[in-house]
Structure 1
Amino acid sequence: MYQLYVEMLEVMDAAFQDFAAALPKPVRVKHGPGWVFRFKDRDIHHAVVLKLALVQSTLRAALVLLEHGHTPQQAMLQRVIDEANEDILFLVYAVTHDTVTPLHQRYLDAFWAEEFGDANDPTGTHQSRDMVPRQKIRAYLAKIEGKDLDPSRAVQVTKVLSQTYSGFIHGASAHIMETYGGMPLHFHTRGMLNTPRITEYANDLWNYMYRGLCSHAFAAKLFGAQEHFDQLVAHSKRFEAAMGKQYGQAKT
């Protein structure tokens, strides 16, 4: 299974590198006493590339955590991946299925906002972002995707999944207790290797790897990269077969 995940990540990266190369390179800008890299254009295409970078790098980090048995920390990262995948679809659909709405513009304004008005005075110029509530993003996705489903039900399901992983991030007692067990009974602070949790979380990571692959396929549509889209769909079918799964046919 590990090798399959590595291969899935390489397939994602091949597409991602071409998406990133299609955009003007970031430029160096003055930031406080030093320099940082920033995109000049602050649009949906650039935002999607950044979100894909987040998805792919976080998937790699989750795989490393699984290798070392740190399953609660893997769950924390899966919450990050969940939201990034939602963000990618939210942005892509504005171009491929809908139009750039005021909600999308609000999202982009917050996404591109700098953390500080003046990097030389971070304490005095820290800026609060006008973040779009997660429920509004999910409601938008449900409206676009849920023509044959109950949108309110779809929103509730994703909300429950998000809140479940939120317990790992915020350190709820029931989630911490997942690290307790064994013979003799103890807290597994060095990881959960050689426990049933490893198989459970190895299987769970499949959902995030697959959805990450799907996010890259949606991005291919955004960039008009039909060849990449076809390749990603073909690979997704091959990966499904390797895991004994079969999902719906992606639309071309």
Structure 2
Amino acid sequence: RAVLEEAEKQQVLIHRVSQGSGIMLMTDAEIREMVKLGAEAGIEVSLFVGPRAAWDTGAQITASAGKNLGARLRGMDQVVYAVEDIKRANALGIRSVLVADEGLMWLVLEMKKAGELPADFVVKVSVQMGAANPISVRMMEQLGAGTYNTPTDLSLPQLAAIRQAIHIPLDIYVEVPDDFGGFVRHYEVPEMIRVAAPMYVKLGLRNSPNIYPSGVHVEPTAIALSRERVHRAAIALDMIRRYYPEATTSKRGAPDLGIPVV
């Protein structure tokens, strides 16, 4: 709700809102409210699948070399939990989920083929997947990725090379949370669009805490961060208008978005 209010205030067109705490940490009523808000606004609401190694009982994730496993599904139990998350979200009207495990991507693709999920159900691949070259990202597309969030530190030539190998949109961080590198790349946005479109401009925030899993205990911070991200989006839009005015933006409610269904 705060994002939509701030978007109206800043006159920013938002295509997608993603939430990282996970479906499992939301009540049915909370998900229904997000479905209603997203459907009314004509924007995609993408919810992260809840179970992940970082919140499980394993120890490797706590080791310095194991942190990249954080968003993976650990063992078959977590795969089952993740599928239950997706089935519940779909039943409540969500049409987009954030995924960071190749096995789950394949399973969702098979569920779509079998008619157990809608054909237009969007799988947004998290930045935590980590595929960083054209071949690897193309494999993600073949596994069912609807959009792919590239690693935060890829150069413009590296992004351009990935674009040549795939058809799906890329999600590209322009401002990056500290725990993903802390880069601030607003001046690069016009050139990112030239070499990597179709793409979504994604805004995290440098100098901000990691709030996941979120909740009432950090709600004021979460709301403030959400509003500032919209402000950063307004800055990115100004850059685009100034340096690449001929660039085109998808209209509200574009057909490839996973807009919730009430």
Larger Rg: 1
Higher helix share goes to which structure? 1
| Structure with higher strand content | 2
With structure 1 as the length reference, what TM-score do the two structures score? 0.27
Looking at both structures, which has the greater relative contact order when contacts are Cα pairs under 8 Å and sequence separation is at least 6? 1
